[in-house]
Amino acid sequence: MGLIIYWLAVVVLFIVGIVQVIIKSARKEPLKPGLILILISVIMLVIGAGACAVILSNLKIGH
């Protein structure tokens, strides 16, 4: 269940970031908040994908 919530959070952050960038770009406002949300979602995507790869490959580190 936690995994579903994690990936849902990644998708929501990315979509909100994209929407903010589009709206603020049209209004000629600073884009930094939207870009930060996109950056956070990409970092979460990389971390989550790496964790899933480790779990699925059944790596046993240190054993």
At residue 50, the pLDDT reads 86
Could you give the number of structural domains in the chain?
1
Closest CA to 10 of 50, 39, 45: 45
How does residue 54 score in pLDDT terms, banded at 50, 70 and 90? confident
- Residue indicated by tokens 């870009």: 35
pTM of the model: 0.80
Per-residue tokens: 15: 């979509």
**21-50 pLDDT per residue, tens:** 999 999 999 999 999 999 999 999 999 988
Per-residue tokens: 32: 């930094």
Which residue range is the domain that position 19 belongs to? 1-61
Query: Helix 32-57 crosses helix 2-26 at what angle (to 10 degrees)?
Result: 160
d(CA 49, CA 57): 12
